[in-house]
Amino acid sequence: MSLVERVLAGETLAIARAMSWIENDHPDKEVLLDALSAHCWRALVCGITGPPGSGKSSLVDRLILRQRRQGRRVGVIAVDPSSPFSGGAILADRLRMQDHATDGGVFIRSMASRGHLGGVAGATADAIKVLDAAGFDCVLVETMGVGQSEIEVMELADIVMLVLVPGLGDDIQALKAGIMEIGDIFVINKSDKPDASKVRAQVEYVLGLAQEQMHPPRPIVMTSALNDQGIDELAATLADYHAALVADGLLERRRKQRVARELQRILAAKVQERANAALNLERHLDSWVQCVMERRCGPYALVRERLQEFLQEHNPL
């Protein structure tokens, strides 16, 4: 059986290997993904993002349990950062989820960011497709600990949970652009800590300023993953939010946007690849640099000219 058939049959070894192909840019990666894409869009993809130490992994652990109780198979992709110095990584999100290690209905994969900056890894979007095609009903994507602008998870998830905790700053922080704008569901974790209700009030205030423009309205859920509190409510909120997105055709629209971005990204990468090869960039880049440094030409004019040559050579007309 081919790797594709084995993934579609839900075979663990094959799913794991397919993800490695994606991470390592295996020569047959594109063929694999094209074959799998005919079997996608069945899973609900939920992103879980928030600052380091806010309890994302523990929340994922608890959410897995709720999904399993409803008989759903769950795939998890948990991203941790790669070292900018050694390129190595410690991937320890799984540590909080090991209760599910022997459950055949759960597949957990740790992923290093490998230099990718948006809070997820470059391979995350394609790895989701593997889990989707393999028949997992729900895919939970846990980002690295994020700051204010790592918001790429919104480009690959159907629904984004933003996890906040007490002690991160005042209501002005909550007003700022970026991460605070991408949450569909706001989770205030560590609700047993003092000031948790204050965080809730701040989020309510910020959302309140724009809530009428938001459809569906953004729910806020208080949880304590460690004490297993609020998790049933969170799971129910996720289900309701999902239902609302489906009913209004919003899920379809989000997914269309996702495919549009993916196609643009693939096109840009392929054009760049072809142009680099055709212009023999590797060999000529030094002379281009020389040209600019010696003030013989400006960078835009140089690239425009070279690009013109490339396009003329490759224009069949």
Partner 1 sequence: MPKRKIRILIAKPGLDGHDRGAKYVARALKDAGYEVIYTGIRQSPEAIVNAAIQEDVDFVGLSLLSGAHNELFPEVVSLLRQRGGEQIVVFGGGIIPEEDIPFLRAQGVEAIFTPGTPMSKVIEFIESNRARVENR
Q: In the complex, which residues of this chain contact partner 1 (CB under 8 A)?
A: 12-13, 15-17, 19-20, 23-24, 82-83, 85-92, 94-95, 98, 101-102, 107-110, 112, 114
Q: What is the nearest approach in angstroms of partner 1 to the Cβ of residue 27?
A: 12
Question: Toward partner 1, which CB reaches closer, 27 or 208?
Answer: 27
Question: Toward partner 1, which CB reaches closer, 181 or 273?
Answer: 273
Question: Toward partner 1, which CB reaches closer, 91 or 239?
Answer: 91
Q: What is the nearest approach in angstroms of partner 1 to the Cβ of residue 100?
A: 9
Q: What is the nearest approach in angstroms of partner 1 to the Cβ of residue 45?
A: 18
Crossing angle (nearest 10°) for helices 124-133 and 12-23: 160
Secondary structure (3-state) at 234: helix
Question: Toward partner 1, which CB reaches closer, 65 or 108?
Answer: 108
Round to whole Å and give the CA distance between 48 and 157.
9
Q: What is the nearest approach in angstroms of partner 1 to the Cβ of residue 126?
A: 15
Question: Toward partner 1, which CB reaches closer, 48 or 112?
Answer: 112
Q: What is the nearest approach in angstroms of partner 1 to the Cβ of residue 183?
A: 29
- Are 230 and 188 spatial neighbours (Cβ–Cβ below 8 Å)? no
Q: What is the nearest approach in angstroms of partner 1 to the Cβ of residue 93?
A: 9
275: left (phi over 0), alpha (psi -120 to 50) or beta: alpha
Question: Toward partner 1, which CB reaches closer, 115 or 178?
Answer: 115
Dihedral (Cα; 56, 111, 185, 169), 10-degree rounding: 50
Secondary structure (3-state) at 88: coil
Question: Toward partner 1, which CB reaches closer, 90 or 311?
Answer: 90
Round to whole Å and give the CA distance between 267 and 264.
5
Q: What is the nearest approach in angstroms of partner 1 to the Cβ of residue 78?
A: 10
Q: What is the nearest approach in angstroms of partner 1 to the Cβ of residue 17?
A: 6
Calculate the CA 180 to chain-centre distance.
16
Question: Toward partner 1, which CB reaches closer, 85 or 300?
Answer: 85
Question: Toward partner 1, which CB reaches closer, 131 or 164?
Answer: 131
The sign of the CA dihedral 152, 157, 161, 163 is negative
Q: What is the nearest approach in angstroms of partner 1 to the Cβ of residue 134?
A: 12
Round to whole Å and give the CA distance between 248 and 251.
8
- Are 75 and 138 spatial neighbours (Cβ–Cβ below 8 Å)? yes
Checking 273-279 for CB contacts under 8 A at 24+ apart, the result is: 274/314, 275/307, 275/310, 278/310, 278/313, 278/314, 279/306, 279/309, 279/310
Q: Which residues contact 213 (CB under 8 A, 6 or more apart)?
A: none
| Residue 130 burial (CB count, 10 A) | 28
C-alpha closest to that of 74 among 129, 140, 143, 8: 140
